[in-house]
Amino acid sequence: MKKKNIFLARRLTGRYASLWVSVIAILLTIVTASILLLIMGKNPLTAFASFLQGCGFLAKENYGGGSGQLTDMLDFLNYLTPLILASLAFITAFKAGLFNIGISGQMLLAGFTATVLVGYNKALSPFIAKPLVLLIGLIVGGLTGVLVGYLKYRFNIHEVVSTIMINYIISYLTGFFINNYHVDMMTRNSKVCTPEARLTLTNVMIGDMKCKIPLGLIIAILIALLVSFLFRKTVLGFEIKAVGQNRRCSEYSGIRVSRTILISMGLSGAIAGLAGVAYYLGYTNTIIPKSLPSMGYDSISVALLGSGSPIGSIFAAAVVSVFQQGSNYMSSSLGVAKEIASLITGILLLFASCGNYMKYLAGRTMQQTSEIASQGSSRTAPASPESKEAKTK
């Protein structure tokens, strides 16, 4: 037992500590979820296998006409795309010490605006419509982000509170417009957008399988690389990190803190806007009125699980997507409510947020082991004069 502690401690204090935290969090989550499934009388192994089958990582026993493992895989990527973007949005603000809880709202507003302005315009060619959709996502999301940053530095309003308020405002506002002007009477959702504007190509035949191709995935990976570059190599990234870690010292060293906050919130919002269009004009092509996408919150789990690394978040997003996207198949094949996917994500988040404590414990364990090793020498110190005095009394 002792030995194993040291094994873990060494890894948690080493160079890849953050990676190990994520691995441990995932393992703990799998254990917890397994216990939960066992209590419900299900076989955890089958359950986890069916999550993977639902995402095309493992083959299902049988497929319907026109679909196959590749279809599932591409559906999974289609879901993954906005999630990667959303988590990058969270990371960009988080590096500046800001909690952008408003990603849901920024996604919704960007998706709504792009749908209304481009998605319903049948005259546009796809080569104009698709870039336009991305541009609108960037601008609308970015402006919403800037507003939050402005409220933060000008009026000292905590971004968590302001983003939540803005989330609900956006939700009701877009809900009002959808219900009054753009509603599809059959589904009660917004009318679907044109295939020209949609960022996912649908009904593409690969072999005999009907597939969806998420074009946004390329953009998501590109943005991940860009964000990574921003924080590793650029002056702006350095300033954002400085502001996030010590605002007062940043001010002292001449960084214009308010401007940096605006920029990072703006960037965060802009990326969230991209996530929004990738979600509403890609993954789905309709908007449910008055409903904030839960992906905005899942992105926080992803960012935490990827310990704030842009590249790490691609993999973390994949883990979370497996649970979210695979839950339908798991639910139908095992008969467990599909809400368990959110529950597993929540548990994952819980363990991931203990990462610092894990590292702290590991640091302490390492310290203790090194002290035990060095204690022999300190014990043999010569007794000081007064200790002799005390002994004689």
Partner 1 sequence: MNKVFTDGLSFALPLLIMAVGALYSEKSGVTNLAIEGFQGVGAFFGALAATLLAPLMGNGNQMIIYIAILCAAVGGALFSCIHGLLCIRFRANQVISGVVINILSVALTAFFTSAANTAINGTASNKFVLDVSARFSIPLLSQIPWIGGLFTNMYPFEIIIIVLVIILWYLLNRTRFGMRLRACGENPQAVDAAGANVIRIRWAAVMISGALSGIGGICFAYSLIGNFSPSIYQGFGYLAIAAMIFGNWSIGPTTLACLVFGLAKSGGLQLCIAAGLPSNYTDLFLMLPYVLTLLLLVFFSKKNHPPKAAGEPWDKSKR
Partner 2 sequence: MSEYIVEMRHITKRFPGIIANNDVSIGIRKGEVYALLGENGAGKSTLMSMLFGMYEPDEGEILIDGKTVTFHSSTDAAACSIGMVHQHFKLVEPFTIAENIVLGVEPVEKRLGVLPWVNIRKANEQISELSKAYGLEVNPTDRIEDVPVSVRQRVEILKMLYRGAEIMIFDEPTAVLTPQEIDFLLQIIDNLRKDGKTIILITHKIAEIKRIADRCAILRQGRLIDVRDVAESSVQDLADLMVGRQVRFTQDKAAPNFRDPVLEVQNLTVRDEHKFEVVKDVSFTVHGGEIFAIAGVSGNGQEEIADAIAGLVKAASGKIILNGKDITGEPVRERCLTGLSYIPEDRNATGTIPDMTLQENLALREYYKEPFSKKGILQHDAFRRYADQLIETYDIRCAQGPDTVLRSMSGGNQQKAIVGREIEEQTSLIIFVQPTRGLDIGAIENIHRQILQERDRGAAILLISLELEEVMMLADTIGVLYRGEMLRIDSAENMTMQEVGRYMMGVREA
Closest CA to 86 of 62, 69, 103: 103
Residue 154 found at the interface with partner 2 (CB under 8 A): no
Q: Distance between CA 31 and CA 317 in Å, rounded?
A: 20
Residue 251 found at the interface with partner 2 (CB under 8 A): yes
Cβ atoms of 133 and 282 within 8 Å: the answer is no
Cβ atoms of 273 and 140 within 8 Å: the answer is yes
Considering only residues 93 to 152 of the shown chain, the ones binding partner 1 according to CB under 8 A are 99, 101, 151
Nearest CB to partner 1, comparing residues 73 and 343: 343
Q: How far is the CB of 260 from partner 2 (least distance, A)?
A: 12
Nearest CB to partner 1, comparing residues 97 and 141: 97
Which of partner 1, partner 2, none does residue 117 bind (CB under 5 to 8 Å by kind)?
none
Q: How far is the CB of 264 from partner 1 (least distance, A)?
A: 17
HSE at residue 92, side-chain half, CA atoms within 13 A, is 32
Residue 11 found at the interface with partner 1 (CB under 8 A): no
Which of partner 1, partner 2, none does residue 364 bind (CB under 5 to 8 Å by kind)?
partner 2
Residue 241 found at the interface with partner 2 (CB under 8 A): yes
Cβ atoms of 271 and 85 within 8 Å: the answer is yes
3 state DSSP class of 60: coil
Instruction: Name the maximum alpha-carbon separation found in the chain.
Output: 102
Q: Distance between CA 367 and CA 114 in Å, rounded?
A: 55
Q: How far is the CB of 381 from partner 2 (least distance, A)?
A: 6
Residue 360 found at the interface with partner 1 (CB under 8 A): yes
Closest CA to 87 of 296, 236, 341, 228: 296
Tell me how far apart the terminal alpha carbons of the chain are, to the nearest angstrom. Answer: 45
Which of partner 1, partner 2, none does residue 371 bind (CB under 5 to 8 Å by kind)?
partner 2
Mark 217-236 with x for binding to partner 2 (rule: CB under 8 A) and - for no binding: ----------------xxxx
CA distances from 113 to 44, 67, 117, 281 (A): 43, 33, 6, 11
Mark 24-53 with x for binding to partner 1 (rule: CB under 8 A) and - for no binding: ----------------x-------------
Q: How far is the CB of 178 from partner 1 (least distance, A)?
A: 10
DSSP codes, 41-54: T--HHHHHHHHHHH
Cβ atoms of 313 and 37 within 8 Å: the answer is no
Q: Distance between CA 28 and CA 41 in Å, rounded?
A: 20
Q: Which residues of this chain interact with partner 2, rule CB under 8 A?
A: 233-236, 238, 241-242, 245-246, 248-256, 363-364, 367, 371, 378, 381, 383-387, 389-390, 393
Binding interface with partner 1 (CB under 8 A): 40, 99, 101, 151, 155-158, 160-162, 164-169, 172-173, 175-176, 179-180, 290, 294, 297-298, 300-301, 304, 337, 339-340, 342-343, 345-347, 349-350, 353-354, 356-357, 360
